[in-house]
Amino acid sequence: MNVTTFKTLVLREYWENKSLSRTPVIISCVILFALIVGMFTAQSFIFSMGDNQLFLDKGLSEISDANLSELSQAITGFQYGVFLAPLTIGLIFVLFFYSLGSLYNDRRDRSILFWKSMPVSDFQTVMSKVFSAFVVAPSLTAAVAVVAQVVGLVLLTIMVWINGGSAWNIVWSQSSLFTVIFNDFMALFLLALWMAPILGWLWLVSAYAKKGAFLIAVFVPLGVMLVEGLMLGSAHFGTIIGEHFAQLEYLGESMVEKGHPFGVFSSTGFWIGLVISAACIALSVYIRRYRDDSY
Amino acid sequence: MSNVVTARSLSKSYGEFNALKSVNFSVQRGRIVGLIGPNGAGKTTILKSILGLTTFDGHLDVFGLDPQKDRHKLMQKVCFIADVAVLPRWLKVSQALDFVEGVHPRFNREKAERFLSKTKINKNSKVGHLSKGMVTQLHLALVLAIEVELLVLDEPTLGLDILYRKDFYNELLTEFFDEDRSIIVTTHQVEEVENLLTDLMFIKNGEIILDSTMDEVSERFVEVMVSSDKAEQAKEYKPIAEREVFGRKVYLFDGLSPEVAQSLGDIHRPSISDLFVAKMREVSA
């Protein structure tokens, strides 16, 4: 595969889908704004207690002794919980709508005829979208998360300074910043891979649907569940989907308990999801290549 | 002269409907072929087959490649403008240039920028903010700057006002066309391309009913303006069409010898649109 061509195709995805970077930036700005408001409130509460020196001294002495690891956990928990978690949810939505539109929007506005007039194979086109979903989107969100987390630590630093503490001892030395940065990227890559079977389904709908892609993407699975329930009285399909969503918990749990998100690798469902996704992607390429309603 | 497109028994059916009924044709290097036919005649199906945008039965060879299998390789040698305004609205002009430069090895960016500098198109504009004429100019600038060997144009001037339409064909001739390249064009505005074409193909109900060079067309078809007293005599030569102009009959003949034609009245070359109308009616009659 030609590298320049592929680079251009991925760039094209980014030009069309500014939400890949805008969504995490907007989410982070909202969080930081809320954080600043919260800090003002907390600080005015501390001032209102009058003898803030006493408050801090007491607090610091408690912190510095036995419960250093608790402080460390609190700081990393702050970075994951306040920043990474909402950005993760944001990424789920971004990936959902990105994939659903990626092989559909250009057929609706007929710009597919322009893209198809270029010497690019449909395999390359679809792969550029797959690459954008699994690599570009998580990387952008992770990069934004890192910046937001650092700004968050700076805000904490200011707060500690105002109250006369040592920001290095309380905030930065406990932040495990490099581990957090590594985990931001890994967690979001794994999130995208966890979503792989869902994204595969969305690409399939995106390549196939003549109209109403969203409705097809959402209501066909619901319809399958309903039909299964009525005809067979069972709920296997729903259970499979439910179990897949339960894996999200693995991802979070593993981060908190083991310090890395790779716990999800031990789940068979995760790997089966990747296989299903690959099959859907292959089928999407085929449909994109041979469907005939585009002109 | 070498063929760039060769079709043998090319067929295509959509369910019960036969869009193409086993047609044969070829396009040679250095020609401008006009593919003319009413809506639903199969024009677009022929173009789509050549461009690998649809499946078909029979044999089709474009630059030695099978469009169904090697579409993306073919697109290095072939480019097309399918319809106006298929450029996506979110695309910036500068991004369009970057994109084509990135994916097309035969794109000449300087040439495209030179075209654009002659227009009022701002490089930072999005396609959605350009007028329809400007979008076509942009598309043309991109496509004409690609040094392909075959250009396929399907209704390229549809929806454009007349000023742009003239410019469009002028640029096509001066900036793109030479003896190594070929153009296939379909249009409803036959008058516009009349003086441009080297070859003419009429298609109706999935069949090619006329396929010849423009030189052959002017030798074969003749229009004679006949005074009313010679009308009966003219009818004996079986004109394929007749119409009335200022009380005199105008007959269109296929294969009438020049001497006979001159003896009947004033002769001139039929316009393509008159010829088209005559051929369409002739087949259905």
pLDDT of residue B274: 86
- Look at A121 and B71 and tell me if their CB atoms are within 8 Å: yes
Bridge partners of residue B199, in order along the sequence: B33, B213
pLDDT of residue A273: 93
Neighbours of B232 (CB within 10 A): 9
Question: pLDDT of A30-55, one tens digit each?
Answer: 999 999 999 999 888 877 776 555 55
pLDDT of residue B123: 93
- Which of A111, A116, A119 faces B87 most closely, judged by CB atoms? A111
Bridge partners of residue B182, in order along the sequence: B150
- Which of A11, A120, A295 faces B82 most closely, judged by CB atoms? A295
Q: What is the pLDDT along chain A (295 residues), one digit of tens a residue?
A: 688 999 999 999 999 999 999 999 999 999 999 999 999 998 888 777 765 555 566 666 566 655 777 788 888 888 888 999 999 999 999 999 999 999 999 988 889 989 999 999 999 999 999 999 999 999 999 999 999 999 999 998 988 888 777 778 778 888 888 989 999 999 999 999 999 999 999 999 999 998 899 999 999 999 999 999 999 988 889 998 988 888 887 777 777 777 778 878 888 888 999 999 999 999 999 999 887 764 5
B-chain CB neighbours of A9 within 8 Å are 102-103
A3 touches chain B (CB under 8 A): no
Q: Please give the residue of chain B at the shortest CA–CA distance from A292.
A: B54
Q: Please give the residue of chain A at the shortest CA–CA distance from B103.
A: A5
B80 touches chain A (CB under 8 A): yes
pLDDT of residue A65: 55
**Closest Cα partner for B116 from A32, B67, B100?**
B100
A7 touches chain B (CB under 8 A): yes
**Closest Cα partner for B163 from B118, B133, B191?**
B133
How far away is chain A from the Cα of B222, in angstroms, using its nearest Cα? 38
A-chain CB neighbours of B82 within 8 Å are 110, 113-114, 117, 295
- Look at B75 and A118 and tell me if their CB atoms are within 8 Å: yes
Q: Please give the residue of chain B at the shortest CA–CA distance from A106.
A: B88
Q: Which two tokens stand for residue A104?
A: 């559909």
A12 touches chain B (CB under 8 A): yes
Q: Please give the residue of chain B at the shortest CA–CA distance from A288.
A: B53
Using alpha carbons only, what angle is made at residue B69 by residues B63 and B74, rounded to the nearest 5 degrees?
35
B87 touches chain A (CB under 8 A): yes
CA distance B82 to A295: 8
CA distance A238 to A241: 5
Q: Please give the residue of chain A at the shortest CA–CA distance from B100.
A: A118
A-chain CB neighbours of B54 within 8 Å are 292, 295
pLDDT of residue B4: 93
CA distance B139 to A6: 22
How far away is chain B from the Cα of A291, in angstroms, using its nearest Cα? 8
B13 touches chain A (CB under 8 A): no
Q: Tell me, letter by letter, the H, E, C secondary structure of chain A.
A: CCHHHHHHHHHHHHHHCCHHHHHHHHHHHHHHHHHHHHHHHHHHHHHHCCCHHHHHHHHHHHHHCCCHHHHHHHHHHHHHHHHHHHHHHHHHHHHHHHHHHHCCHHHHCCCHHHHCCCCCCHHHHHHHHHHHHHHHHHHHHHHHHHHHHHHHHHHHHHHHHHCCCCHHHHCHHHCCHHHHHHHHHHHHHHHHHHCHHHHHHHHHHHHHCCCCHHHHHHHHHHHHHHHHHHHHCCCHHHHHHHHHHHHHHHHHHHHHHHCCCHHHHHCHHHHHHHHHHHHHHHHHHHHHHHCCCCC
- Which of A8, A110, A295 faces B53 most closely, judged by CB atoms? A295
- Look at B98 and A295 and tell me if their CB atoms are within 8 Å: no
Whether B147 and B80 have beta carbons less than 8 Å apart is answered as no
B215 touches chain A (CB under 8 A): no
pTM of the model: 0.88
B-chain CB neighbours of A122 within 8 Å are 72
Q: What is the pLDDT along chain B (285 residues), one digit of tens a residue?
A: 589 999 999 999 888 888 899 999 999 999 999 999 888 888 888 998 999 988 899 999 999 999 988 888 999 999 998 865 589 999 999 999 999 999 999 999 999 999 899 889 999 999 999 988 888 889 988 998 999 999 999 888 776 778 778 878 888 888 888 888 999 998 877 888 888 899 999 998 899 999 999 888 888 898 888 877 787 888 888 888 888 888 788 888 888 888 888 888 888 888 888 888 888 887 555
B162 touches chain A (CB under 8 A): no
- Look at A11 and B73 and tell me if their CB atoms are within 8 Å: no
Q: What is the ipTM of this complex?
A: 0.88
- Which of A15, A112, A119 faces B104 most closely, judged by CB atoms? A119
Helix (H, G, I), strand (E, B) or coil at B184: strand
- Which of B51, B72, B91 faces A120 most closely, judged by CB atoms? B72
- Look at A292 and B44 and tell me if their CB atoms are within 8 Å: no
- Look at A114 and B83 and tell me if their CB atoms are within 8 Å: no
Neighbours of A222 (CB within 10 A): 11
B92 touches chain A (CB under 8 A): yes
Q: Please give the residue of chain A at the shortest CA–CA distance from B73.
A: A119
B-chain CB neighbours of A109 within 8 Å are 86, 88-89
- Look at A15 and B95 and tell me if their CB atoms are within 8 Å: yes
- Which of A110, A118, A120 faces B86 most closely, judged by CB atoms? A110
Contacts 24+ apart (CB under 8 A), A185-189: A185/A138, A185/A139, A185/A142, A186/A260, A186/A261, A186/A262, A187/A84, A187/A88, A187/A251, A187/A255, A187/A261, A188/A87, A188/A88, A188/A91, A188/A138, A188/A139, A188/A141, A188/A142, A188/A145, A189/A134, A189/A135, A189/A138, A189/A142
CA distance A208 to B100: 27
